[in-house]
Amino acid sequence: MRDLFEKIYKDKGPLGKWASQAEGYFVFPKLEGQISNRMKFQGKDVITWSINDYLGLANHPEVRKVDAEASQDYGSAYPMGARMMSGHTNLHEQLQKELAEFVSKEAAYVLNFGYQGIMSTIDALVSKDDIIVYDVDAHACIIDGVRLHMGKRFTYKHNDVESLEKNLERATKMAEQTGGGILVISEGVFGMRGEQGRLKEIVALKDKFNFRLLVDDAHGFGTLGATGAGAGEEQGVQDDIDVYFATFAKSMASTGAFIAADQEIIDYLKYNLRSQMFAKSLQMQLVKGALKRLDMIRTMPELKDNLWRIVNALQSGLKERGFNIGTTQSCVTPVYLKGSIPEAMALVKDLRENHGIFCSIVVYPVIPKGLILLRMIPTAMHTLKDVEETLQAFSSIRERLNSGVYKRLSAHVSAAMGE
């Protein structure tokens, strides 16, 4: 028998092995100052392209005022306990009612965290006879939710409706044997590459197959659709989404989340979501803050218009300069470059130190080896000047990448890591 920690001493995992080179800079960086388009990183001013504050609400004076007043009135504890036991309030109910109305569903239920909330939603929706069919590139919270399932599950190729159809055929055969049903799970917007889930085509399959659809619309809520109600609204299929999920961690610039569905389904879920039944309710400060943010999303369409003005300028500017931004159909703006992890590190350092641009960097194992993904999140706070400066910086780093500058600068890291 071996000591449980032995494997940890030997192997830090695919990302953890980079800790000594990366921590504090590439991972766990500390962005300082007020949340905005320009913040400070290690004392330097940077244009920030890595914060999911799509609508610029995080630091909006009206939002800050309500947050501060709610904190003054309630502190950060109230209400104590789980919703079911002692943590329920009128304002939780009001928020649910308003969220349901906003996303055109009969009812909604507020969750203390999105990650745990959607895991429990998946867990509560299926029993062991049921079959889950989900996109292979689904967010970790969906994968973890599926892990709780005691029955069969199939993945379909990323956003590939033909593959979904094949898997639905298999799932249907299996469900006929087990006597169970089928849950299909997609995202409204895939947060890494920015494609919208092909919801329209997925719901069209309901004519042929019997399944229910759960959509995680973390990045679509507030950013897509005529009113900002998300990817379902954008694609005209909101009614065919059986269970709609969104977090408050992005457009709402807060903490918490919600699910929305028919009344009877929400009534069932609120008695069966383990991560909510056995965990503290969302505190009032956040509930009041969410009501304010939702009101602003509803009544200030200029926030979304500003966001899209920046998205369009950034994405078209990148394309005009010949950058590969993949197949994004949302605000999420990926830029794909070719290079090793050490090269990616040198490139990002150049971007931050010499160009004052802060964006997230994604490498293997999240994306295939040899690719570097610079992921940018435009917001309503950004300006066209931010976009212009960023485009110029990107042209410069691409030139240095192609001429081998970063390879030379990172040779010692490559050698040390055996890359």
| Three state DSSP letters for 13-38 | CCCHHHHHHHECCCECCCEECCCCCE
Q: Is 187 near ligand PLP (CB under 6 A)?
A: yes
| Nearest-angstrom CA–CA distance, 260 and 247 | 12
The distance between the two most distant Cα atoms of the chain, rounded to a whole number of Å, is 63
Q: Is 273 near ligand PLP (CB under 6 A)?
A: no
How buried is 356 (Cβ within 10 angstroms: 0-12 exposed, 13-18 middle, 19+ buried)?
A: middle
Enumerate residues 6+ apart whose C-beta is below 8 A from 317: 387, 388, 391
Number of H helices, E strands in the chain: 17, 14
The backbone torsions φ and ψ at residue 183, rounded to the nearest 5 degrees and listed phi first, read: -115, 125
Q: Encoding tokens for residue 316?
A: 């078209």
Q: Work out how close the CB of 180 gets to ligand PLP at its nearest, in angstroms, rounded to a whole number.
A: 25
| Nearest-angstrom CA–CA distance, 17 and 360 | 19
Q: Work out how close the CB of 389 gets to ligand PLP at its nearest, in angstroms, rounded to a whole number.
A: 27
Q: Which residue's Cβ lies closest to ligand PLP?
A: 114
Question: Which residues in the 323-382 window bind ligand PLP by CB under 6 A?
Answer: none
| Cβ neighbour number for residue 95 with a 10 Å cutoff | 24
# residues near ligand PLP by CB under 6 A: 13
Range in contact with ligand PLP (rule: CB under 6 A) among 30-38, 40-48, 70-78, 111-119: 111-119
Q: Work out how close the CB of 216 gets to ligand PLP at its nearest, in angstroms, rounded to a whole number.
A: 5
Residue from 56, 79, 145, 191 in contact with ligand PLP (CB under 6 A): 191
Question: Which residues in the 230-259 window bind ligand PLP by CB under 6 A?
Answer: 247, 249, 257
Range in contact with ligand PLP (rule: CB under 6 A) among 109-117, 376-384, 390-398, 411-419: 109-117
Which residues lie across from 336 on neighbouring strands?
A: 324, 373
134 vs 406 by CB, closer to ligand PLP:
134
Residue from 108, 126, 141, 310 in contact with ligand PLP (CB under 6 A): 141
Q: Work out how close the CB of 191 gets to ligand PLP at its nearest, in angstroms, rounded to a whole number.
A: 5
Q: Encoding tokens for residue 373?
A: 């993904």
User: Tell me, what DSSP letter sits at residue 221?
Assistant: T
Range in contact with ligand PLP (rule: CB under 6 A) among 23-31, 58-66, 112-120, 262-270: 112-120
Nearest-10 Cα torsion for 264, 248, 130, 209: 80
> Angle CA(300)–CA(250)–CA(326) in degrees, nearest 5?
105
Q: Is 54 near ligand PLP (CB under 6 A)?
A: no
The backbone torsions φ and ψ at residue 123, rounded to the nearest 5 degrees and listed phi first, read: -55, -40
Q: Is 289 near ligand PLP (CB under 6 A)?
A: no
Range in contact with ligand PLP (rule: CB under 6 A) among 92-100, 110-118, 161-169, 289-297: 110-118
Range in contact with ligand PLP (rule: CB under 6 A) among 69-77, 114-122, 274-282, 291-299: 114-122
137 vs 350 by CB, closer to ligand PLP:
137
Residue from 113, 154, 211, 406 in contact with ligand PLP (CB under 6 A): 113
Residue from 79, 87, 114, 334 in contact with ligand PLP (CB under 6 A): 114
* Positions of E strands within 49-114: 107-111
Contact code string over 196-235 relative to ligand PLP, x by CB under 6 A: --------------------x-x-----------------
How buried is 161 (Cβ within 10 angstroms: 0-12 exposed, 13-18 middle, 19+ buried)?
A: middle
Q: Which residues bind ligand PLP (CB under 6 A)?
A: 113-115, 118, 139, 141, 187, 191, 216, 218, 247, 249, 257
